[in-house]
């Protein structure tokens, strides 16, 4: 009696093309244990011109986010967007599909790289390339790598970066390694976070580009972290380091009053029918230096709420 045909498919893809195995043995080959012959690519030396081209291209990749941050900062400061857009945020969103936060991260990142370069070049006497940087130094290649350094003072950033490079065994450190180094440094100089949820504080923008335009505004603490607080402002929530916050020392009743105002501003900000004039009023109320609204301000806020309800 003839045997039924085997249901197993030939593992032809698992056998090299130059195999000399008979067909019947190849058919019985277990795909899980089959050997694939791979031809190794020969490593060849580069010419001097190729070495130069490689270094140039690598440097362009490394500097991509740095150059982007520098360009965005100049576009913003010189208001080169004003011929087509009313605000820098709208321009970046339409032209580059960048969110406001991403733009701030890029600008902050290039400033941190500048701090690293200044601190490193002043402490080392190595040769410098055409960009004024030490040619033997390991530099950041991504904004994510330097983002944790924003929690430190500018003079601390170069040393923190060097520690991260050492921890990465002389290679470009990941953002996680940099974050770990920053946390250890902050632990040594840790200042107790005495803020409480519901407390009203003032934003101190200082040298933080992410807080640009928010200096002096009031905010309500919604979460207390080790080295920062999450606060609610008129235009959303932000996580801000302790050095960028100052308690307004309001009484409990005054904090409750500001919480009610904050809730009303948040509801209006989320309303799709809110016009530009209404947003301007919300911004004004978000910059108050007192824990209450005047009669005129109360009327303005109530009018905007009424208009939004009617249009909704």
Mean pLDDT of 201-227: 86
Segment of 51-60, 151-160, 181-190 carrying the highest mean pLDDT:
151-160
Q: E strands, 32-189, where?
A: none
- Mean pLDDT, the chain, rounded, equals 81
pLDDT, tens only, 243-290: 889 999 999 999 999 999 999 998 888 888 888 888 889 889 988 888
pLDDT, tens only, 77-103: 999 999 999 889 899 999 999 998 899
* Domains of the chain with CATH codes: 54-124+138-188 (no CATH), 192-312 (2.30.30.30)
Bridge-based pairing state of the strands 218-224 and 200-203: antiparallel
* pTM for the whole structure: 0.53
Do the Cβ atoms of 209 and 104 come closer than 8 Å? yes
Residue with more model confidence, 21 or 279: 279
Over 70: is that where the pLDDT of 48 sits? yes
| DSSP H stretches of helix in 171-272 | 175-188, 252-269
The predicted structure's pLDDT at residue 254 = 92
Q: Is 282 helix (H, G, I), strand (E, B) or coil?
A: helix
Mean pLDDT of 91-118: 91
Q: Give the percent of the chain with pLDDT over 90.
A: 42
Widest Cα–Cα separation across the chain? 103
Residue with more model confidence, 99 or 31: 99
Q: Is 124 helix (H, G, I), strand (E, B) or coil?
A: coil
pLDDT, tens only, 163-203: 999 999 999 999 999 999 998 888 787 777 889 999 999 99
Structure tokens at 17: 């093309």
């Amino acid at each position: 009696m003839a045997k039924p045909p085997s249901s197993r498919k030939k593992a032809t893809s698992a056998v090299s093309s130059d195999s000399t195995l008979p067909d019947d043995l190849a058919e019985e080959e277990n795909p899980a244990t089959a050997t694939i012959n791979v031809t190794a690519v020969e490593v060849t030396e580069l010419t001097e011109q190729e070495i130069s081209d490689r270094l140039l291209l690598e440097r362009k990749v490394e500097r991509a986010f740095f150059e982007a941050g520098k360009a965005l900062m100049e576009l913003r400061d010189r208001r080169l967007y004003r011929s087509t857009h009313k605000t820098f945020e709208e321009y970046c969103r339409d032209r580059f599909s960048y969110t406001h936060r991403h733009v701030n991260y890029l600008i902050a990142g290039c400033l941190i790289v500048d701090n690293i370069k200044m601190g490193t070049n002043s402490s080392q006497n190595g040769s410098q390339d055409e960009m004024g940087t030490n040619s033997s130094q390991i530099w950041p290649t991504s904004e994510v790598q330097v983002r944790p350094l924003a929690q430190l003072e500018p003079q601390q950033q170069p040393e923190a970066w060097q520690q991260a490079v050492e921890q990465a065994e002389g290679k470009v450190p990941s953002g996680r390694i940099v974050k770990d180094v920053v946390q250890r440094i902050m632990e040594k100089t840790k200042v107790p976070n005495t803020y409480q949820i519901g407390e009203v504080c003032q934003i101190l923008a200082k040298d933080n580009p992410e807080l640009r335009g928010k200096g002096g505004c009031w905010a309500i603490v919604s979460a207390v972290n080790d080295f920062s607080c999450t606060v609610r402002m008129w235009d959303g929530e932000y996580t801000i380091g302790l050095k960028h916050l100052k308690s307004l020392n309001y009484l409990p009743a005054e904090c409750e009053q500001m919480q009610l105002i904050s809730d009303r501003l948040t509801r209006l900000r989320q309303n799709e029918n809110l016009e530009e004039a209404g947003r301007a009023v919300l911004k004004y109320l978000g910059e108050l230096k007192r824990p209450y609204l005047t009669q005129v301000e109360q009327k303005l806020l109530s009018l905007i709420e009424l208009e939004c309800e009617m249009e909704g």
